[in-house]
Structure formats: C-alpha cells, structure tokens
Amino acid sequence: MTLIATQSLTKTYGGRVTALADLTVAVEPGIIGLVGANGAGKSTLIKILLGLIAPTSGQVSVLGIDPTADPAAVRARVGYMPEHDCLPPDLSAAELVTHLGRMSGLPRTAARERASEALRHVGLYEERYRPVGGYSTGMKQRVKLAQALVHDPDLLLLDEPTNGLDPAGRDAMLALVHRIGTEFGISVLVCSHLLGEVERICDTLVAIDGGRLLRADHISAMTSATDVLAVEVSEGTEELAARLAALDLPVAREGRLLLVPLADDGTYDLILGAVAELDLPLHRLDQRRHRVAELFATRELTHA
C-alpha cells in the first residue's frame, strides 16, 4: 500500500509565492525523511497532508484517503508534531496529553491510560505531573511527540523534531523516532533541514528544494555508490592525477582534492605507491563517508 502519494501537487500563496511546484512523489510505509532547506515547502506539504490547507492544484492521498475530501478521516489516523512551541505552560504533560487524547475520540479512561503510556514511551515518568512551563526543550519535544502518539495513529508527521536540541538530545530523539518506526509499527515522516540527521534513521528519503522534488528513493539505493578516497598533495596534483589515471584508477578532481573510488585495500597501496614514486608531499589521504548530501550536491551541479 502506498503511504503518501502526491500528483502534480502545487501550492501558491496569493498567486505569487510558490511553496510547492508540481510535486509528484509516492512513498511506501516506513520511516521517511523529508529534507530540504528552510522554506523548501516541507511544512506546507505536511499541512496539505493533514488537510489543514488546500492545494492550489494537484492530487494528494494519505493512507489511501484524500485529505482535501475527508480531512477528518485522515486526521483520525495521523499524529502531528508541529515545529513550533505549542504547549500551554501551566498544564502538566499528563493533563495535556490526556485532554488531546480525548480530542482524538478516546474515552476518558482510555485517554488517561494511553497518555501515560505515550509519555512513558517517550521517556517521561514522574515529571509528567509537573507543569510543562518548567520543562527543558528536550522534555517539551518529547511531550509534543507523546501527544502525536496518544491516539495510536498509523502515521506520524514530525516537523523538525530535533529543533533546538543539543547533540545528545538530537541523538535521543532520533533513536526514539527510529524505535517508533521499527518497533511500534507506525510509519513516520520526519521533516528536517539537516540531511545528515534523518539519513541515519530513515528507509526512504524525499528531498525537496524550492517546492520541487529533488529526489525520492530508498536510502539503500542512494548510498550504494562506492566510497571514495580523497587525496590531497601540497604540489604536483596534476602529475599525481596523470599517474593514477595511468594505473587505471578513475580519478575525479574536486578543487585541490583528487577523488578516487575505493575498490579494496589495494587502492590505498596504489595511491601511496604513486605518491612515493613521484616524491610528492602528501597532505592528506582519507576515506570519505559517502553521504547522501553529496549525491544531492552533484545532482544539483549537473542540473546547473
């Protein structure tokens, strides 16, 4: 079953500002990373998926339901964690999440039970009875996640869940999101402007820029390219490139760096041998983690 599908989805504000332009994408259940710079249209897409705003044109379906036609049916099965601060400071987390559970249609006792379960799953225990106003940013993010989880949705829409968190908090939040996606059996759409973050946890990556789709694919398909070695010599870069090419190594130039695909450990020896033979001052030789970011970067370059 397709989790989310859009067809030529376009949203313009006031006819001038284009938030989404002709976006066509289909993703399967799992953990989906939605990446893009600020203003790329991530939040607009989420709001359209929730049926909060109507697209200017194009079709959209979430869990097989059209949110423009039946927003209530979509929202009943979706949990949403907004990007911005949205917690009343004078309520306790337990009260707030219970109340929002009831707003999702849970009976009173079920709402209370599910609220403490959801808060427990995000790692809030005794502190859930204290007013939210005194919570740290990390705890507030957890409450926001718990309220999205309280009614046991089939899909979570998380808008920048790591916003404002320190590195340890980011790791904890990402681990939590990963657990929800893998152990809880709930599909998750994670929005972020930090590609390095979401690529660690998601199965599928959707990248948008300026409201247009850059690429959507399984993360495995994106990272299957071989790793590369970056070689930098203080002088004689040209000679080294020529020598390596003579050794049947496909060399690419990137500024002052030479990039050589890493076939096996023998590649190291070949490069080191070439550098030694030419007697060049080797500045650095390191293996690059082939991050998805580079795929997008080169792709954008080829487009330009």
Partner 1 sequence: MPEPSTAAVRSAPTGVIHDIGYQRYQGPRLGRRHVFGALYLHGLRTTFGFGRSVKAKIFPWLVVGIVTLVAVALAAVRSQIGEPVATYAQFADNMSWLVIFFVAVAAPELVSRDLHSGVLPLYFSRPLPRNDYALAKLLALVTALWLLLGGPQLVMFLGAAFTTKDGMKGVWNELLDLLPGLLYAGLWAVVFASIGLLVASLTGKRAFAAGGVVAVFLMTTPIVGVLSILPSRTANELAGLASPPTLVRGTGIWSLGDLLVEDGQAGLSIGGFGPVYALAAVLLVAGATALLLARYRKVAS
145 alpha carbon, distance to own chain's centre:
16
Binding partner 1 (rule: CB under 8 A), the pick from 53, 259, 262, 285 is: 53
In whole angstroms, the minimum distance from the beta carbon of 172 to partner 1 comes to 17
If one counts every other C-beta atom within 10 angstroms of the C-beta of residue 88, the result is 12
**Residue 197 to residue 200: CA distance in whole angstroms:** 6
- Rounded to the nearest 5°, which phi and psi values hold at 64? 80, 5
Binding partner 1 (rule: CB under 8 A), the pick from 18, 39, 50, 290 is: 50
Nearest one of 148, 176, 151, 149 to 162, comparing CA atoms: 176
Binding partner 1 (rule: CB under 8 A), the pick from 7, 30, 76, 138 is: 76
- Rounded to the nearest 5°, which phi and psi values hold at 180? -60, -45
Binding partner 1 (rule: CB under 8 A), the pick from 107, 196, 250, 273 is: 107
Q: Which stretch binds partner 1 (CB under 8 A): 4-12, 15-23, 69-77, 276-284?
A: 69-77
Binding partner 1 (rule: CB under 8 A), the pick from 28, 57, 59, 105 is: 105
Within 7-92, residue ranges assigned H as helices are 42-49, 71-76
Q: Which is nearer to partner 1, 114 or 128 (CB)?
A: 114
Q: Which is nearer to partner 1, 75 or 128 (CB)?
A: 75
**Residue 157 to residue 258: CA distance in whole angstroms:** 41
In whole angstroms, the minimum distance from the beta carbon of 80 to partner 1 comes to 4
Binding partner 1 (rule: CB under 8 A), the pick from 13, 24, 89, 200 is: 89
Q: Is 100 near partner 1 (CB under 8 A)?
A: yes
User: x/- site string to partner 1, residues 108 to 137, per CB under 8 A?
Assistant: x-x---x--x---x----------------
**Which residues, in sequence order, are CB contacts of 42 under 8 Å at separation 6+?**
34, 35, 36, 159, 191, 193, 208
Angle separating helix axes 108-121 and 137-149, nearest 10 degrees: 140
What is the per-residue burial (b if ≥16 Cβ within 10 Å, else e) of 106-131? beeebbbebbbebbebbebeebbeee
Q: Is 47 near partner 1 (CB under 8 A)?
A: yes
User: x/- site string to partner 1, residues 142 to 161, per CB under 8 A?
Assistant: -----x---xx---------
Residues in contact with partner 1 by the rule CB under 8 A: 47, 50, 52-53, 72-73, 75-76, 78, 80, 82, 84-90, 95, 99-100, 102-108, 110, 114, 117, 121, 147, 151-152, 180, 183-185
